[in-house]
Amino acid sequence: MCSGKDVHHGVHGKKKPRPRRSFTPEFKAEIVELCQRGDRSVGQVAKNFDLTETAVREWLRQVERDAGAGVGGLTSSGKEELARLRENRRLREDVEILKRATAFFAKETR
């Protein structure tokens, strides 16, 4: 018998999504190092630190990509460059909008 919302599983036993958390590069590096030692599985490390196995595996793949050994995806420096390029594009678009607004208001005040 279902009594409505459960604290841990929402309505009807469905798990609530965990809020998105962020971790420092140093913390990620420590977790990756623990996994690479080989004395614990990725699953064990993830469970011990209340992390998702998917996140830990992605951190491991990122380290491999950064070292030139991984396949697919961007290196960390590639991700940083892409973020800068996207920001530059957004700023150029903002400048274009401001130029058009300036031209519009310059015509209106004549």
Q: Is the per-residue pLDDT at 8 higher than 80?
A: no
pLDDT of residue 74: 83
Give the helix, strand, coil percentages of the chain, each rounded to 5. Answer: 60, 5, 35
Short-list 54, 30, 26, CA closest to 42: 54
Q: Is the per-residue pLDDT at 65 higher than 90?
A: no
Q: For the residues 61-74, what does the mean pLDDT come to?
A: 83
pLDDT of residue 75: 85
Query: Mind listing the pLDDT tens digit for each residue in 15-55?
Result: 888 788 999 999 999 999 999 998 999 999 999 999 999 99
The answer to pTM > 0.85 is no
Q: For the residues 97-104, what does the mean pLDDT come to?
A: 94
Rounded CA-CA distance 62/90 in Å is 27
Residues 76 and 64: beta-carbon distance below 8 Å: no
